[in-house]
Amino acid sequence: MKLIDAHVHLSDAEYADHIDELIADAKNAGVTALVTNSVDLKTCQSDLELSEKYPNLVYPALGIHPWNVNVLKENELEQVIDLIQKNKNMVKAIGEIGLDSKYETTWEKQTMVFEKMLHLAESLDLPVIIHSRGTTDKIIDMLPSYHLKRVLLHWFSYPMSTLQRAMDNGYFISEGPPATYSNGIREVIEKAPLTNLLTETDGPVKYWKSPYNGQLTKPSFIRSVIEAIAEIKKTQVDNVAEQIAQNFEVFFNIKLI
């Protein structure tokens, strides 16, 4: 069984002393792909290095997170764009990018950075991994203006009315450990076609409910996510894992080994 963590932040400071542990955990659990998402220039550089150190397992998605736009250093946006262009053969997606309604004071700058990231993805023919807290409707309104290869709405949760719009546009969504306990996330999984789903941990985000109970988030958590999806979809765990792996190959244009 091939397991997929399509959204994790391996270059986060909280993981700094745990990379070997996380990679070993991934291999032991049968995780065959981890897409490490960047949030700024420093993590872009680090994620590229990790993908070189762990080939055919760690794949980089590079971009600027909306939470980081207000602390960007001078020319950092341009440096990120240049780094991505120079390493376009290694980069598997532009991410994590998007908009966040909680940070209204940075809205104009968020939008500017997001639009530049979308234009970059368009020009390089790369998929995008999108953060859309409180902004999913707005983002889905924006995206048809771009010729994007593929779109992943990471940790999709609401509004449910937008889910059908996303599916009609052929977008993918990814869900993680909350699939085991969140009624809202379970409803999303129930209504979304399995062919549009990917699995994630979003580590180092911690999950405080059972069975995770605040542990360091590890790739092995994906197994419980797959089991939850199988339960919700009333199908076999192996069937879910196989379909998720196929979805991963289609979305990222990566052949799993």
Give the C-alpha separation, 69 to 123, whole Å: 22
Model pLDDT, residue 69: 86
- Residue pLDDT, tens place only, 179-204: 999 999 999 999 999 999 999 999 99
Given a cut of 50, the residues of the chain with pLDDT beneath it are none
Model pLDDT, residue 160: 84
Model pLDDT, residue 101: 85
Residue 194 identity (one-letter amino acid): L
Q: Beta strand 128-131 with 93-98: parallel, antiparallel or unpaired?
A: parallel
Residue ranges of domains in the chain? 3-252
The two structure tokens encoding residue 195: 């062919």
Model pLDDT, residue 159: 81
Model pLDDT, residue 107: 84
Say what the pTM is.
Answer: 0.96
Model pLDDT, residue 54: 97
CB 4 within 8 A of CB 244: yes
First vs last C-alpha separation in the chain: 12
CATH class of 3-252: alpha beta
Give the C-alpha separation, 50 to 16, whole Å: 12
